[in-house]
Amino acid sequence: MSPELEELYQEVILDHSRRPRNFGDLADAAVLVHGDNPACGDEIHLGVRFGEGGNVQDIKFTGRGCAISQASASLMTTKLKGKSPAEAMEMFRVFHDLVTGETDDAPRMLGDLRLMQGVRKFPQRVKCAMLAWRAIEQALQQSAGESTISTETDFVAP
Amino acid sequence: MHRVASSAVDWNAIREDFPILREQAHGHPLIYFDSAATSQKPRNVLDALRNYYEHENANVHRGLHELSSRATAAYEKSRQRVASYLGAATADEIVFTRGTTESINLVAQAWGGKFIRARDVILLTEMEHHSNLVPWQLLAERTGAQLRFVPVRDDGTLALDQLPSLLTPEVKLFAFTHISNSLGTINPVAELCDKARSVGALTLVDAAQSVGHLPIDVRELGCDLLAFSGHKMCGPTGIGALYGRADILDSIPPWHGGGEMIVSVTLEKSAFKKAPHRFEAGTPNIAGAIGLAAAIDYIERIGRSAIFEHDAHLAGYAVERLTELPGMRVLGPREDRGALVGFVMETAHPHDLTTFADQHGLAMRGGHHCNQPLMRRFGLAGTTRASFYFYNTTAEIDRMIEILRAAVRFFS
Ligand SMILES: Cc1ncc(COP(=O)(O)O)c(C=O)c1O
């Protein structure tokens, strides 16, 4: 097995992809974001409920996708519960820099999400890792209602 | 047409003609199973490109000097070569384009713009590549024409029993793929053309996946138009052609304006050349056309019947071996398939599988293969596709199975 593969698919990542945490529909979600990766057809449906001060009170997802996108979503939901919108956005930024290779040392605040650093050696897979995060970014911006996002930033809906 | 039996060809020696097959990928010998995306190029094609630039390079149809004559002669000889390869009546029936996509867009824009009106129908199938779908959507939007689709059955074949209700006199054009790039289905082109003709509809065949893989004779098939790309049949990228029966090409107005395609120009108005030059505005891909002719030479030396036999053997063997794997679903017909196999595995998503394979030197494609509606039809987001050409071997397929077994262990 190549070291790149071992690094990309660490045991924790495979575990989250096989048994995603917080997988399911979120009853009385304030925001529901449908995320789409048109390049590969993967999708995520992310439900978020906000508590006091707009904190992420509960967060769940459904959808289908590769191990990277599923694990990233699963890890993200465990990490974001209870976070303030500002903290969540900071996490988004730091995670993005981690998987795109902007930062070398993985910040401690990411916890297990640091294990996703291996994605940086696979540029074609960055969008897989970012799908759930694009969805939460949108959820934080709208705080109520339903919407659709795509990993293709220049994607124009027909 | 050559009729060489597959067994008479030394397939291993043929690999020597493809320098790239000696490459390593991630420290492993390269196994190239992505020829449906683009094929590799034999040395004689690379040499033809080099020879052109070293000895013949000049612009065509305009210079009065020696090199221009050589370039023009080589370019037009290539057109002849394509015409005879396809069984066209004359070289004037061959328009050089960038490839399948541009050929189809030419028809949709120039022919469609002139002949298609609101409520006319363009008949397609559910298995079309986006390049034989989106141009028609654009035409439909512009003209108010309607699109209809021949459904695909669960076994990956067209639901031909539904043709009578779909192929009605409102249908002006039936455009369909010869071989599906996701399912491997080989459609009965001659039969479909025949049925279309009986209601007065023109036919356009997307031959991207077939033109380098099996014998094609446009007059035997009875198609009116046919589109293909050179790069999937050993030729360079950026060159392909549209075949159009002479009377049809002559009826189509120009689409791109510019040099090369005019007879005379005043500030107000221009007179256009006849087909095919009318459709080739600007300096064409001269080297590409010459490389394509060299690719045809190469393919014909082996013989398309032999290639088809060899391809079919590889595809059949791959299906047989793949179905040994646990949780395996192979798409498309069991028998009579083109040189490719699309599949999904319970244990691993196509993306993960393709990444895993790549790390073992095995190049496949994972995703929707520009077939999003077809993937949806089968309830899939995508597949992994192994596609073959005559330079592939059963030993490589055995290696693929080993790698996929390792993937099953790794991901489950
Ligand atoms: C069936 C089919 N049609 C059309 C195309 C488009 O070919 P090109 O991109 O060379 O224009 C392809 C290749 O991807 C194909 O497989």
Residue A155 inside a domain? The answer is no
DSSP state of B158: B
Does B193 participate in catalysis according to the annotation? no
Least Cα separation, residue A13 to chain B (angstroms)? 11
CA nearest to A19 within chain B: B412
Interval B190-246: pLDDT, tens? 999 999 999 999 999 999 999 999 999 999 999 999 999 999 999 999 999 999 999
Please state, in angstroms and rounded to a whole number, the distance separating the CA atoms of residues B189 and B204: 10
Sheet with A145-150, strands from edge to edge, namely A56-64, A42-50, A31-37, A145-150
Instruction: Look at residues B124, B17, B3, B1 and name the one whose alpha carbon lies nearest to residue B390.
Output: B17
Which pTM value belongs to this model? Answer: 0.93
Residues B130 and B268 in one domain: yes
Q: What 3-state class would DSSP assign to B362?
A: strand
Closest Cβ opposite residue A40 in set B351, B360, B410: B351
The residue ranges of chain B whose pLDDT is under 50 are 1-2
Residue A140 inside a domain? The answer is yes
Residues B121 and B269 in one domain: yes
Residue A52 inside a domain? The answer is yes
| Alpha-carbon distances of B192 from B105, B145, B203, rounded to whole Å | 21, 21, 8
Please state, in angstroms and rounded to a whole number, the distance separating the CA atoms of residues B30 and B152: 34
Structure token pair of residue A91: 């996490």
Q: Report the number of distinct structural domains present in chain B.
A: 2
Structure token pair of residue B87: 């069984």
Chain A partners within 8 Å of B366 (Cβ): 40
CATH of residue A74's domain is 3.90.1010.10
pLDDT at B208: 98
Alpha helix segments (H runs only) across B278-347: 286-302, 304-322
Closest Cβ opposite residue B351 in set A4, A14, A128: A128
Residue A75 inside a domain? The answer is yes
Q: What 3-state class would DSSP assign to A94?
A: helix
Residue A89 inside a domain? The answer is yes
Please state, in angstroms and rounded to a whole number, the distance separating the CA atoms of residues A120 and A124: 9
Residues B97 and B199 in one domain: yes
Residue B95 inside a domain? The answer is yes
CATH of residue B20's domain is 3.90.1150.10
Please state, in angstroms and rounded to a whole number, the distance separating the CA atoms of residues B239 and B286: 9
Last residue of a domain, one of B300, B334, B351: B300
pLDDT at B3: 54
CATH of residue B95's domain is 3.40.640.10
Residues B18 and B133 in one domain: no
Q: Report the number of distinct structural domains present in chain A.
A: 1
Residues B243 and B330 in one domain: no
Structural domain for B174, as ranges: 46-300
Interchain CB distance below 8 Å, B381 and A64:
yes
Alpha helix segments (H runs only) across chain A: 3-8, 11-18, 67-80, 85-100, 126-142
Strand partners, A48: A31, A59
Please state, in angstroms and rounded to a whole number, the distance separating the CA atoms of residues B272 and A30: 63
Residue B30 inside a domain? The answer is yes
Structure token pair of residue B200: 């007065």
Residues B204 and B83 in one domain: yes
Last residue of a domain, one of B281, B300, B319: B300
Q: Which chain B residues touch A if contact means CB-CB below 8 Å?
A: 26-27, 348-352, 355-356, 359-360, 366-368, 372, 375, 380-382, 410-411
What residue's CA is closest to ligand 1, atom 7? B100
Residues B20 and B52 in one domain: no
Structural domain for A132, as ranges: 3-150
Residues B109 and B254 in one domain: yes
Residues B255 and B151 in one domain: yes
pLDDT at A157: 44
**Peptide bond between residue A107 and the one before it cis (omega within 30 degrees of 0):** no
- Predicted complex ipTM: 0.87
- β-pairing verdict for B94-97 and B340-345: unpaired
Residues B190 and B55 in one domain: yes
Chain A partners within 8 Å of B134 (Cβ): none
Residue B184 contacts residue B333 (beta carbons within 8 Å): yes
The residue ranges of chain A whose pLDDT is under 70 are 153-158
Residue B88 CA to ligand 1 centre (angstroms): 21
Half-sphere exposure in the Cβ direction for B44 (13 Å, CA): 14
Residues B239 and B216 in one domain: yes
Residue A81 inside a domain? The answer is yes
Residue A158 inside a domain? The answer is no
Residue B1 inside a domain? The answer is no
Complete DSSP assignment for B34-96: BTTT-----HHHHHHHHHHHHHT-S-TTT--SHHHHHHHHHHHHHHHHHHHHHT-SSGGGEEE
Please state, in angstroms and rounded to a whole number, the distance separating the CA atoms of residues B116 and A105: 60
Residues B288 and B336 in one domain: no
Last residue of a domain, one of B270, B300, B330: B300
